[in-house]
Structure formats: C-alpha cells, structure tokens
Amino acid sequence: MRRAEVEVIVEGDNGQEKKWRMVELLGSERNRYLNKLTSRVKVTNDGKACGIKSFDGFQSDLLCICVYNEDNRLLTKEEVEALPSLTQQSLFVRAQRISGLDDKAGSAEGIEGNV
C-alpha cells in the first residue's frame, strides 16, 4: 500500500522557500514513536500517569522520522530543533495528523500547504 505524502513549504533563513516532503509513518515506525513517548511519562507509585519527565525532543522525535528535505534526506534532530518554534509546531501537528496520531486521524484537513 502507498503511504500518504504531502509537500510542505518552509521559508528558509534567506527568505527562499524550501520544499519538503512529509510521509505517513509505517505501522512499525508509529509503534516505536509511541513507545518512546510512553517512556516520557511520569508515573506515581500506584502506576498512574502524573506528568511528563522531559519535553526535550518531543516534537523533533516525530519530525525526524517523517519529514524529508529537498535532497530526499530525513531531517536531523538538530535541523528540526533549529526551526522557529511556530514552524516546528505547525509541522508537528501535520505529522501527527498524517500518521493518525491525533483526534482527526485519517483526515487530510490542514496537512497541506505552507508553514
């Protein structure tokens, strides 16, 4: 089966547009990502979730496995974390949606276009 894919356009430091590609995760990639997320959760002695241990890499962990640059290479964690926060947030929301990690799973609404 073919994975969902969208073009995202990001403005570079010099004002030029960068055309990147965001690709839906495979099931195995999605599972590894979700397992990594669960390791971030703080739990009480009785096993209840009570917060997040660290937000470091929270968004970049997902973007590094689904966003390809102009050279068809996955973005590195350093590249993702060097993006302005609003750009990173916008890409993260789209990445969640395209891979069924949000409450609008399966919807193409809001995943295409410029960042």
Model confidence pLDDT, tens digit, residues 68-104: 999 999 999 999 999 999 999 999 999 999 999 987 6
Residue at 98 is within a domain: yes
pLDDT band, residue 47 (cuts 50/70/90): confident
Rounded Cα gap, residues 100 and 96, in angstroms:
6
**pLDDT number for residue 106:** 47
Q: What is the pLDDT of residue 33?
A: 94
Among the listed residues 58, 54, 42, 56, the one whose alpha carbon sits nearest the alpha carbon of residue 101:
58
Give 113 or 92, the one with higher predicted confidence.
92
Q: What is the pLDDT of residues 9-41, one digit of tens each?
A: 999 888 899 999 999 999 999 999 999 988 888
Question: How many domains are contained in the chain?
Answer: 1
Which range marks the domain in which residue 35 is found? 5-104
Does a structural domain hold residue 57?
A: yes
pLDDT of residue 107: 47
* Between 25 and 56, residue with greater pLDDT: 25
**Contact between 68 and 74 (Cβ < 8 Å):** yes
Looking at the domain assignment, is residue 90 inside a domain?
yes
Q: How confident is the model at residue 6 (pLDDT cuts 50, 70, 90)?
A: very high
Q: Which tokens go with 104? A: 């609008």
- Assess if residue 111 is contained within a domain: no
Using pLDDT thresholds of 50, 70 and 90, give the confidence band for residue 112: low
Q: Residue 47 sits in a domain of what CATH number?
A: 3.30.2220
